[in-house]
Structure 1
């Protein structure tokens, strides 16, 4: 019997919705961490008594330190996630990044701040790399892109939360208070995740733990194939490997490189705009709260547009939707250079959010469903880890351009060119080879109509 395209039963639905909720909340704090630095950056630049004298170039580099940590954390999750399991990686990384955010709030100089931002990023990178694998293994096939989009929309949702809190409370709690908020998952999310987040039955089967997989399936209603069929395929050197070794195999090497380039472009745009958009708009004559409003619109547009695009990806396939979204981003970024009235500028920023942050949401879903179970965490980790190199470059490009006195229009044109390069890489990705590697599953539970 084939895997049900929707739900295997009410327990399956309940378990997946719990998982999606917990994973989304976790990723909200990834988005919060992404944007909170941009919201406090004008204060740190203007007031050297906070952490010390900070130039725009130094600020761009400082913003990249967290991304170095995210890259390390994602790659570590890819190394261990396919071996130790999804649940353990999630719980560990929730603890890690919560403690890191709280410690960052106590930093008293630029060096300490940068080191703690890097260490915090390790936990965030581990989360980003793990949740995509979990959703791909828990969600029914007809809803995989949608649920991935819901979870990874936590990134722009966290950005919205950071922007709103900065507008309402930054004057009262300061930049340190903004970072203390990022430590709340330790006492709120962690207990819920410990109680409600099961291990992936599909991962348990891949590790030969059939009895454990059946027990989880019985308890949660999540379908599982206890005896997956792996047909012999000529020239397939990936079937017996695990993790990054599969990504480097003959069948997956080229798509892995292209998926990494897509994520590089998406995260360069995401981090570059989230870090520097408030400062760019402030330089263009908007006051502090007005410039933060652009950040709010950017991330709000990403949430709405990303969810719409995900529904289209479930129906038409993600490849064309991702490429189109990159092109839409390029168009919107170019519009920002024409000096249109404020309503048109806000609309263009919202569309740019869909095509940059929203596109990266789709890329995670595309990647998590591209690889087989024995390499899924590694695939998402590669996407998140290598892509973070783009996230590191994005804030640095913005800092260098602003420090050199180059106009915001030139910066937007550069970002638009990067979006077009991302679209080109997307269109070059070959058809999903896992169709030949993993046969359709025979579920351990009877499927029922939704």
Structure 2
């Protein structure tokens, strides 16, 4: 079963752009959640009347609870997403994380705050795991990596939004107001998604629900392709495996391990640098505002560079571009140790953003297009879930290095080595396991596209 390489008409384009926009806005709140805790942490540390006395160690644990929740949420979405559908998973998780953010704003002690951070993370993990599968099944094949990059660039964009709002309005709304902002999708994004986000026709076809797929195709202009067998490249004498069972099959076991290691490296670098870059640069002699500017440049570089790299991935294939992006991070992080002037340092941080946060954006696109429809949700969930272990380890590594008094140069060398290991894992992913388009037969409807 294959998607068209371009638009079948204006209605198709309009429908897909709605899906991309809604998914991107949802993913913005992953980035928002990542950074908003850091923006309110100084208040919680300095004012015990907010939640109680908060030590540095407890603060670090609270920061990790949401990441553990994200990991669990991703695996839950992978377990059920390939069975219950993309639309249903997106809507449920928008409700879940919105309610969680609002409830967190009402917390009055550390225990409740930590539990709600964990529960909110489950909803965010479900969104991250589902969005990639959604875009892979709606976007034309020539634009999949770009649209995945747009959607997952919501992570650094959400971080920027959280940082800016904290600077501008935190004195007026307090830390609780910043969490209430995280609950706004319940009354803004959810109604739009309910109306404008259809179920994936490709997923419906893979589940044998042909009539429903045709009805959605007729209503939205999205081409519907009917293959003799769902994901015919996997056709065997045995029943087709779905979800995580397919990932564990002989065909996908090794690629799944390597893709998971790629995501582990990407998210370790993303969370490690987002957490500790300001402190590392401060220890290198920059003042507080100057060190914070490096964080904004890191995320800004990830957004711009990630979109450019995704465009190249659509033209030349994602594997080569992801490996190159990891290598760029290696060189940029080493460059930060060479004592260059501020303009060169900022440029190196921007490139490091492309090679770390931007690379993770590319990895989600790579993974979502690597697996067949029957395993796509589980594949992205594995990538997001196992990768979050890297997100948990990254800040821990940074904290251990800073706590041990190790120089900033050594910290950058360690992160550079992790980026190089990510590039090696990328190059080892087997080409032969990638899904190739199967012969398809047009469904008997005037609105259904023929095979290319």
Query: What TM-score comes out, normalization by structure 1 length?
Result: 0.93
C-alpha contact 2:233 2:435 (8 A) present in aligned 1: no
Aligned residues: 447
1:439 maps to which residue?
Answer: 438
Q: 1:40 to 1:288 in 2, by over 3 A?
A: farther
Q: 1:285 to 1:177 in 2, by over 3 A?
A: farther
2:404 maps to which residue?
Answer: 404
Instruction: State the distance in 1 between where 2:25 and 2:73 align.
Output: 19
Instruction: State the distance in 2 between where 1:239 and 1:429 align.
Output: 26
1:308 maps to which residue?
Answer: 308
Q: 1:48 to 1:272 in 2, by over 3 A?
A: farther
Q: 1:156 to 1:237 in 2, by over 3 A?
A: farther
C-alpha contact 1:39 1:292 (8 A) present in aligned 2: no
- RMSD value, Cα: 2.3
- More deviation in 87-96 or 52-61? 52-61
- More deviation in 9-18 or 46-55? 46-55
C-alpha contact 1:78 1:378 (8 A) present in aligned 2: yes
C-alpha contact 1:71 1:388 (8 A) present in aligned 2: yes
CA offset digits 1:61-110 (Å, max 9, x no partner): 32211110000000000000011111110000001101111222222333
- 1:124-163 alignment, distance < 5 Å: 124-163=124-163
1:358 maps to which residue?
Answer: 358
C-alpha contact 1:35 1:162 (8 A) present in aligned 2: yes
What SS does the corresponding residue of 1:213 show, helix, strand or coil?
A: helix
1:298 maps to which residue?
Answer: 298
Q: 1:106 to 1:341 in 2, by over 3 A?
A: farther
Question: How far did 1:351 drift?
Answer: 1.1
Q: 1:233 to 1:84 in 2, by over 3 A?
A: closer
2:390 maps to which residue?
Answer: 390
Does residue 201 (structure 1) correspond to residue 201 (structure 2)? The answer is: yes
Instruction: State the distance in 2 between where 1:191 and 1:234 align.
Output: 38
C-alpha contact 2:206 2:230 (8 A) present in aligned 1: no
C-alpha contact 1:326 1:356 (8 A) present in aligned 2: yes
Instruction: State the distance in 2 between where 1:285 and 1:172 align.
Output: 32
Q: 1:231 to 1:83 in 2, by over 3 A?
A: closer
Q: 1:439 to 1:54 in 2, by over 3 A?
A: same
What SS does the corresponding residue of 1:435 show, helix, strand or coil?
A: coil
Question: How far did 1:36 drift?
Answer: 1.6
In structure 1, runs of 5+ residues without a counterpart are: none
What SS does the corresponding residue of 1:8 show, helix, strand or coil?
A: coil
Question: How far did 1:293 drift?
Answer: 2.3
- More deviation in 123-132 or 168-177? 168-177
What SS does the corresponding residue of 1:208 show, helix, strand or coil?
A: coil
Instruction: State the distance in 2 between where 1:25 and 1:231 align.
Output: 30
2:184 maps to which residue?
Answer: 184
Instruction: State the distance in 1 between where 2:147 and 2:311 align.
Output: 9
C-alpha contact 2:2 2:438 (8 A) present in aligned 1: no
C-alpha contact 2:269 2:415 (8 A) present in aligned 1: yes
Instruction: State the distance in 1 between where 2:413 and 2:228 align.
Output: 49
Larger RCO (CA within 8 A; separation ≥ 6): 1
C-alpha contact 2:139 2:147 (8 A) present in aligned 1: yes
C-alpha contact 2:148 2:362 (8 A) present in aligned 1: yes
Instruction: State the distance in 1 between where 2:129 and 2:407 align.
Output: 36
2:255 maps to which residue?
Answer: 255
- More deviation in 134-143 or 167-176? 167-176
- 1:272-283 alignment, distance < 5 Å: 272-283=272-283
Instruction: State the distance in 1 between where 2:39 and 2:358 align.
Output: 20
2:217 maps to which residue?
Answer: 217
Instruction: State the distance in 2 between where 1:279 and 1:111 align.
Output: 27
In structure 2, runs of 5+ residues without a counterpart are: none
C-alpha contact 2:153 2:306 (8 A) present in aligned 1: yes
